[in-house]
Amino acid sequence: MSKKIQFFDTTLRDGEQTIGVNFSIEEKVAIAKQLENWGVDVIEAGFPVASKGDFEAVSAVAKAVKKAQVTGLARARKGDIDACVEATKDAANKQIHVFIATSPIHRHDKLNMNKEQVIDAITDSVSYAHQFFDIVEFSPEDATRTEPDFLVESIQAAIDAGATVINIPDTVGYTNPEEFAKLFDNLRENIPMFDEITFSVHCHDDLGMAVANSLQSIKSGATRIEGTINGIGERAGNAALEEVAAAMYVRKDYYDATNNIDMSETKKTSDMISHFSEMPVPHNKAVVGANAFAHESGIHQDGMLKNPQTYEILTPEVVGANKTTLPLGKLSGSHAVMQKLNQMGYKVDREDMKRIFPRFKNVADNTAIVSEAQLREIMKKVNEVIA
């Protein structure tokens, strides 16, 4: 039986940590509602203790969202937890996300704490949070650079204190799929309640591995994926959730897992984040980029015209994008040019293309994309020669 994967979106929290991004409260509410439409299970609405504005935004999202769980982020401190309690009090469904760093470099250089102090902080904060929330998520920050035995000890302490979700953050995008699988193998072997706990992952993209690591975690035992829309976030960003969703959709055979994502809302969700964040989506971006369903190469265009599945494993309709396009450029073949001319109202066959295509190539060699106006000019000159 297929397992169910939860989607945890942190666009409003980690995504807003992108340099230059600052969502208004109204924008955060609109984004949260669209994330709910898309099918997200958990929305991390912010870091309530960080500022008055963040607190108010989490409160507003908590009131607006009806189905998804709303969570706030909290350091392993009572004041942070209290802020989350107050900010999410009106949520129909809620949880809390408590974290503390566990790696040697973070313990020594950032926290100035030893292992025993970190374990005590985990126990105290998680048990305190559990008084107010049925669902407590705990994150050992920088988990992928934490000693394997201490990672197990930290996670077990959180579970013993009442954590029901354990998130494994690849905080600096350090790991790779093979190492991530080994990390999960170690947890499965040493955490007695592994199968009773929801394991989540939060992968950063510093080495371009966030989506790959997230997908590997599904095979390794995770049942929750954290990330952002369009992969925005701190430094090089987070796992792009739309890419995770698309991979699960296309490769159902491999991942053998389901989710609640409505794929037809994907492009709309991406466009909203791009607009509010003022961050254009790169044209070559997977799934939602302008070129994701565009084909210029003649070989590709010919294949697409014969059977779209030759070069598209995902159709634009699935993600709510515009239809496939075959832009005409210097690499285009005569088949695509002929089809375009016939769409424009010209009655052109392969024999006609022997005269038309050389003129097209001359124009295409000197321009990026051949426009309809240029095609009409080409046809005008061809007809003049024939006349």
CB atoms within 10 A of CB 381: 12
Q: What per-residue confidence (pLDDT) applies to 1? A: 66
Q: Name which of 228, 235, 238 is nearest 272 in CA terms.
A: 228
Q: What is the pLDDT along the chain (387 residues), one digit of tens a residue?
A: 689 999 999 999 999 999 999 999 999 999 999 999 999 999 999 999 999 999 999 999 999 999 999 999 999 999 999 999 999 999 999 999 999 999 999 999 999 999 999 999 999 999 999 999 999 999 999 999 999 999 999 999 999 999 999 999 999 999 999 999 999 999 999 999 999 999 999 999 999 999 999 999 999 999 999 999 999 999 999 999 999 999 999 999 999 999 999 999 999 999 999 999 999 999 999 999 999 999 989 899 989 999 999 999 999 999 999 888 889 999 999 999 999 999 999 999 999 999 999 999 999 999 999 999 999 999 999 988 765
Q: What angle do CA 223, 228, 234 make, to 5 degrees?
A: 120
DSSP string across 289-352 = STTTTB--SHHHHHHHHH-GGGT-SS-TTTTTPPPPB----TT--HHHHHHHHHHTT----HHH
Judge whether 94 and 59 are in contact, CB under 8 Å.
no
Tokens standing for residue 335: 């088949």
Q: What distance, in Å, lies between the first and last C-alpha atoms of the chain? A: 69
Residue 169's DSSP bridge partners are: 202
Judge whether 266 and 40 are in contact, CB under 8 Å.
no
Q: What is the dihedral of CA 188, 193, 196, 199, to 10 degrees?
A: -50
Q: Name which of 33, 64, 59 is nearest 46 in CA terms.
A: 59
Q: Name which of 182, 191, 209, 244 is nearest 8 in CA terms.
A: 244
Q: What per-residue confidence (pLDDT) applies to 385? A: 73
Residue 359 burial class via C-beta count within 10 angstroms: exposed 0-12, middle 13-18, buried 19 and up: middle
Q: What per-residue confidence (pLDDT) applies to 173? A: 98
Q: What per-residue confidence (pLDDT) applies to 9? A: 98
Q: What is the DSSP letter of 280?
A: P
Q: What per-residue confidence (pLDDT) applies to 336? A: 93
Cα gap 174→240, rounded to integer Å: 17
Residue whose token pair is 């038309």 = 356
How many Cα atoms occupy the beta-carbon half-sphere of 386 within 13 Å?
10
Judge whether 189 and 221 are in contact, CB under 8 Å.
no
What CATH fold (topology level) applies to the domain 3-277? TIM Barrel (3.20.20)
CB atoms within 10 A of CB 40: 28
Tokens standing for residue 218: 């599904």
Domain ranges within the chain, ordered by starting residue: 3-277, 298-386
Q: Name which of 103, 186, 180, 115 is nearest 146 in CA terms.
A: 103
Cα gap 162→197, rounded to integer Å: 11
Cα separations in angstroms, 317 against 167, 257, 289: 33, 22, 14
Percent of the chain with pLDDT over 90: 95
Cα gap 286→311, rounded to integer Å: 14
The reported pTM is: 0.92
